[in-house]
Chain A
Amino acid sequence: GENVEQHPSTLSVQEGDSAVIKCTYSDSASNYFPWYKQELGKRPQLIIDIRSNVGEKKDQRIAVTLNKTAKHFSLHITETQPEDSAVYFCAPHSGGGADGLTFGKGTHLIIQP
């Protein structure tokens, strides 16, 4: 199965600054790269995803960039706000039907006022 690692495990940034979270994966056949956000006490929810035919995708303050050669993709959050405080998970996959889904262990993003 996929070996997924996220870095850092905890990230503390000042409100208004940018945050970057990196996800590395092992399966070169992976072609779907999502990021999920889990606020405290809530369920994970998809915030942005990218497919392998695209190198970058942006949605307002968040963006995802993909480096297929190096097998990693990153979540970028600009102009961070208190509501960005959460745990973020990546879950890359190739779409193969026989495999399950492996999530990264998560990155706890703390926005300091």
Chain B
Amino acid sequence: EAQVTQNPRYLITVTGKKLTVTCSQNMNHEYMSWYRQDPGLGLRQIYYSMNVEVTDKGDVPEGYKVSRKEKRNFPLILESPSPNQTSLYFCASSLVGLTDTQYFGPGTRLTVL
């Protein structure tokens, strides 16, 4: 089944404790991205990747890192999480780029205490 998966789905952590949210797609998509969703602010792009080893900042990249070593995986890294990073995170992928359908993962709800 074609899909985008994320893990974990729910995470409660404490300030400063490094964490990684994994994202994987099995559709051989070139474009992958991360979004955070906050009430009243919609979906805001954190980072995106046009292909392996190519990543770029989105609108809200501060406090986040990403890597794209393989085409199928695009992990989101929070080196030192802070409470303002409490949010719902979505990974998404598309075949080529931004004029293709974005396929979203199920979401990761992160709480930083």
Show the binding face of A for B, using Cβ within 8 Å. Answer: 1, 31-32, 34, 36, 43-46, 49, 51, 89, 91, 93-106
For chain B, residues 12 to 52, give those with C-beta under 8 angstroms from any C-beta of chain A. 33, 35, 40-45, 48, 50
Residue pair A101, B102 in contact (C-beta under 8 Å): yes
Smallest CB separation, A108 vs chain B (Å): 10
Smallest CB separation, B68 vs chain A (Å): 15
Q: Classify the secondary structure of A's interface with B.
A: loop
Q: A32-B98, A46-B102 are in contact. Are A105 and B107 (CB under 8 A)?
A: no
Task: Answer yes or no: B105 CB below 8 A from chain A CBs.
Answer: yes
Contact residue among B42, B99, B105, B106 (Cβ-Cβ distance under 8 Å from A103): B42
- Please count the residue pairs between chain A and chain B whose beta carbons lie under 8 angstroms apart in the complex: 62
Smallest CB separation, A46 vs chain B (Å): 5
Q: A1-B59, A32-B99 are in contact. Are A101 and B106 (CB under 8 A)?
A: no
Residue pair B99, A100 in contact (C-beta under 8 Å): no
Contact residue among B41, B56, B57, B101 (Cβ-Cβ distance under 8 Å from A105): B41
A31 to B98 Cα, complex, angstroms: 10
- List 26 A-B residue pairs with CB atoms under 8 Å apart, sorted by A's residue number: A32-B98, A34-B102, A36-B102, A43-B104, A43-B105, A43-B107, A44-B43, A44-B90, A44-B104, A89-B43, A93-B98, A95-B97, A95-B98, A98-B56, A100-B48, A100-B57, A100-B59, A101-B45, A101-B58, A101-B98, A101-B102, A102-B59, A103-B35, A103-B44, A105-B41, A106-B43
